[in-house]
Amino acid sequence: MARIFVSYSRRNKDFCKQLTDELQKREFDFWVDWEGIPPTVDWMKEIEKGIEEADTFLAIITPDWMSSRVCIDELNIAVKNGKRLIPVVPSDIVWDSVPATLAHLNFIFFTEAFDFNEQVNKLFTALDTDYDWLKTHRRLQVKALEWERSEKENGFLLRGRDLEDAEQQISINATKNPNPTDLQRDYILKSRQETDRQNRIRTNSLRAAVVVMLGIIAALVYPYVAEWVAQGQARGELVEIAAGSFYMGSTDPSMVEFGERGEWLTNLPTFYMEKYEVTNRQYALCVTYGVCTPPGNPTYFRDTDNKEYPVLHVNVYQANAYCHWIGRRLPSELEWIRAARGLDSRRLWPWDDTPPDSQLTNMPFDNTFETNGAQPVTSFLGNKSPEGVQNLVGNALEWTSAYYLESYYYGSDPYDMNNYWDGQDETYDGTRSFIRLGGGWQRRIYHLAEIAVFPGENTDANTGIRCASD
């Protein structure tokens, strides 16, 4: 398979030949149709296959290229498959005619006003940027297409180490170019759900065998007893959050002037919130028993010095899986605000109205981009809510089960209390945006209820977990 697919109009063949000669000198592997595909071959399928198996789609943009139906079809195939697009321009063009999928990119010009060799070097730099991710993206897209064309047979899904690697790569490179495609995300999600389903089947089968095979009951029971003990070790201390009314939204008039949704009174029944953020030690127990997958940054997670630091680099699916494993769930946005603000209080911060500083919370201040990193979850003893929940602000952003609702935050629609994920695999959609709260060691917030919106399948170095319970 070729690393680069070169799309050009036959009327610009001379420039295409000049450019591909340079690619050949640098030993770049490319696919270009010089003479046309033999008549015995399904022509468009061969083109599509060449694009699907390439890392990069290099388009030679000219008026002839933009007026060519075939060239535009090639571009659409590349966009559909999430390929990195690199447009080069050898002559003057009418910019209003440039396809919208290319118009926002950085073009590399080879017109008379530019030095050819300098522009060639720019092209090589672009081709070599994030090359490891390009290879991973291409391999994953090819596998996902095989799965799709096989009518989504389970036999084509990812498993084991391949699945874990794919989940980690998608998480780490979620914002890079090329972006993960919708097909890739769906492929990985279905792979994870099928793996979880198979794990549940295996678990249920083993449990049934305990009843049937009384002669070996001790050997079969031991793993479950050990897991039950581990679940108890993983459960953090719960704080009772009493039923009653509280204020949602911003209670700071200056924040409302900047466009934040203002305060309004609502109420909740009694629930429980974990006193501290979930630690690497607690989450590692869930990983040990195969229920949770490792976070996106294994170095931070596995460091023995970080055992009592908050687990980070987890997406909402991982956070939910952990909470379910210990018999709990993710808090709703309303529950998180209630736990932080207290009953019938307009307080600006969990501790009181005192502005946050480096003695109260682990969060950037002034012009500082970040602190020295995450800190143990029991740090900053003054950072506690009226009921005693610790470190709700700073250290780690915390996932909630609430979906983001733009018409509420940037409009006047009422709050939809049913707009949340119920935590079931069957209803999970990682492309939907969820709400995180509390700020983090790299992310400052300016009032208690300030939200951070993120697709559920994504994560970063600030994002962690705190579980709740009825």
pLDDT digits (tens, 9 = 90+) for 384-433: 999 999 999 999 999 999 999 989 988 889 999 999 999 999 999 999 99
Count CB atoms within 10 A of the CB of residue 419: 15
CA angle, residues 115, 121, 123, in degrees to nearest 5: 100
Mean pLDDT on 110-133: 84
Interacting residues of 240 by C-beta distance below 8 A, sequence separation 6+: 270, 272, 387
Intra-chain end-to-end CA distance of the chain, in Å: 55
Q: pLDDT class for 183, splitting at 50, 70, 90?
A: confident
Mean pLDDT on 18-39: 81
d(CA 384, CA 350): 6
d(CA 370, CA 258): 24
Q: Tokens 């979620």: give the residue.
A: 174
Q: Would you state the pLDDT for residue 360? A: 92
Token couple for 131: 């090359």
For residue 20, what is the DSSP state? Answer: H
Q: Would you state the pLDDT for residue 88? A: 94
| Percent of the chain whose predicted confidence (pLDDT) is above 90 | 55
Contact 259, 411 (CB under 8 A): no
Q: pLDDT class for 72, splitting at 50, 70, 90?
A: very high
Q: Would you state the pLDDT for residue 349? A: 96
Mean pLDDT on 15-43: 80
d(CA 244, CA 269): 7
User: Could you give the C-alpha distances from 422 to 142, 282, 320, 402, in angstroms and in order?
Assistant: 33, 23, 10, 9
pLDDT higher than 80, residue 369: no
Mean pLDDT on 428-453: 93
- Closest among 317, 242, 307 to 273, alpha carbons compared: 242
Contact 350, 393 (CB under 8 A): yes
Class at the top of the CATH hierarchy for domain 4-129: alpha beta
Mean pLDDT on 118-147: 79
Amino acid at 217: I
Highest mean pLDDT among 29-33, 140-144, 247-251: 247-251
Number of H helices, E strands in the chain: 16, 14
Mean pLDDT on 215-235: 75
CATH fold of the domain at 230-469:
paralog of FGE (formylglycine-generating enzyme) (3.90.1580)
Question: DSSP assignment of 386-432, as one string?
Answer: TT--B--SSSSEEEEEEEP-HHHHSS-PPP-TT-B--S-GGG--TTS
Are β-strands 397-403 and 463-464 bridged in parallel, bridged antiparallel, or unpaired? Answer: parallel
